[in-house]
Amino acid sequence: MGGAKNCPETPRQKMISMMYLVLTAMLALNVSAAILNGYAQVDDSLHETIKTMEEGNAATYSQFVRALEQNPAKVQQWSDKADSVRVASNEFYDYVQKFKDDMVQLSEGDAAKKNARVRELAKQDDTNVPQQYAINEGHAAELKKKIEEYCDFLVRITGDSRDLDKEFKKTFTTPEGTNAEGEVISWENSIFMEMPMCASLTVLTKLQNDIRHCEGRAVRYLLTQTDASDLRVNKFEAYVIPSSDYVLKGSKYSAQIVLAALDSTQRPEYYIEDQLLTGNVYEVVTNKVGKQKYSGKIAYKNQSGDTLYLPFEKEYTVAEPSATISNTELNIMYRGYKNPFSISVPGVSTQDIDVKCAGASITKSGKEEWIITPNSGSADKLTVQVYAKMDGASRLMGSFDYRIKNLPSPNAYFEVNGEPLKEDKISLSALTNKNNKLIASYGTDGLIQAKFDIVSFRVKLPTGLEVQVQGSHLNDKAITDIKKLKKGNSVTLMYIKAKGPDGKEIQLRSLPLELN
């Protein structure tokens, strides 16, 4: 009997997971129509993968049926375990589907559809329902528990396989996350808090995808334990397994063509458009953008020696190279300032992305985050170039021009107890408190936030006396003179000099303060 082999996660699976992570990171920038459509594409691709895996799993369960008919005593215990995997997987899959349907019902109301996909939603950007249903009503905590229970079940049912043990625990992990401020948050909040419906449904579809994938991994492992290689092959099916259905122009499309339930005593022949392949791998350099189709056949001999043919056809998409780059604060850059950017290339891992910009220094600050700092003497326009490592070479995926300016001058504020004054009136005690100080800032509503240090300033008193101060805190002489003043008197902080991150020293507007 022919045994089934354990199959690792396919390149297609890895690509889908990577696309999901890229889109989730991009969500932090702006939930645009393009990003919503991106989630719809990932969701569609996940559903197609689920369909393919369900067909493969059904074929494996059929092998169990045939094996049980051939040798009940040998196969029964493994068949029972396989049935328990099918029941547990279907129950968990259906639970996740109900989770999705309930959220859609809550968001869409009477227009809600059962088993709706992301692209069918009228309110793809609804951020209220995922938080309300999953977090506020406690369903996310219940989902997390079921994920852990299902993982534990798969680990128990395949207890002799350490590799599967690691794979299941890695697939169904529910780690804590971090928010934009770097604070640790629960898995539930990191997945559903303030997330749009398109993202939440895609996360849940990916979970369903993981269920079917791991179900198949578990059942195929159980089948190998039956020594199913003793079974006589009585059914053949052709499968085309691409490394990816989404490739970039100029890169290779690669697919493995296999004959399911292959008799080990013969070697099939593989044809693409009537051309015989040297093996069972089809490769072609893709130079035409858009959907591409190809077809072929597998030739094999039956027990009577007759040659039979199994036809197949496959479709894949070729796209132009592209990159997504966003300056997370403005569409310009400032000299000497650490301008934050989020950069990604669809279909390319972060570690395979390289960013270049002549006239600026570049450092990587996070998973998809870069800091670009134009030199102090840089030109008025710089070009950011994004490269990706593909097929062993570095390819330009896109370039973007940015205007370069000097940092604008900030405003001067007097800070009291860590908060800048929002008016020009201050108490005598607050002004003369050595813990309070003069600061330079763009304010909390500023489009950018840069750190400025006060270098020096003068204190002008009502008597006309002026006191020179170094740094940001009033010195003893200034405090002594100010304490002689009365309520209603005015003090002016003038000739204020500050130094920004670009190293330049600038003079700010005077700051008048009235004692109250």
Predicted pLDDT at 178: 80
Strand partners, 16: none
Closest CA to 10 of 165, 210, 166: 210
Cβ-proximal residues to 86 (8 Å cutoff; 6+ apart), any chain: 61, 215, 219
What pLDDT score does 228 carry? 36
Residues shown for the chain: 516
Q: Kindly state the DSSP code that residue 274 receives in the 8-state scheme.
A: T
Q: Which of these, 329, 327, 330, lies nearest to 341 by C-alpha position?
A: 327
Q: Which helix (H) or strand (E) holds 273?
A: none
Q: Which spans in 71-127 are helix H?
A: 72-108
- DSSP-based helix, strand, coil % in the chain, nearest 5: 35, 30, 35
- Residue ranges in the chain modelled with pLDDT below 70: 1-32, 160, 227-237, 239-240, 242-251, 253, 258-266, 302-306, 319-330
What is the identity of the amino acid at 214? C
Task: Report yes or no: 147 and 172 within 8 Å, Cβ to Cβ.
Answer: yes
Straight-line distance from the first to the last Cα atom of the chain, in angstroms, rounded to the nearest whole number = 95
Is 455 in contact with 505 (CB distance < 8 Å)? Answer: yes
State residue 222's pLDDT score: 92
Q: What angle do helix axes 11-27 and 197-224 make, rounded to 10 degrees? A: 160
Q: What pLDDT shows up at residue 229?
A: 38
Query: Would you call 298 helix, strand, or coil by DSSP?
Result: strand
- Please list, residue by residue across 248-261, b when 16 or more beta carbons sit within 10 angstroms of its beta carbon and e when fewer do: beebebebebebeb
Task: Kindly report the pTM of this predicted structure.
Answer: 0.42
If we measure between CA atoms, which residue out of 461, 446, 450 comes closest to residue 494? 461
Burial of 508 (0-12, 13-18, 19+ CB in 10 A): buried
Greatest alpha-carbon span in the chain: 116
255 alpha carbon, distance to own chain's centre: 26
Taking each continuous run of H as one helix and of E as one strand, the counts in the chain are: 10, 27
Q: Are 40 and 118 in contact (CB under 8 A)?
A: yes
pLDDT at 202: 93
What's 5's DSSP letter?
P
- Pair 415, 426: CB distance under 8 Å: no
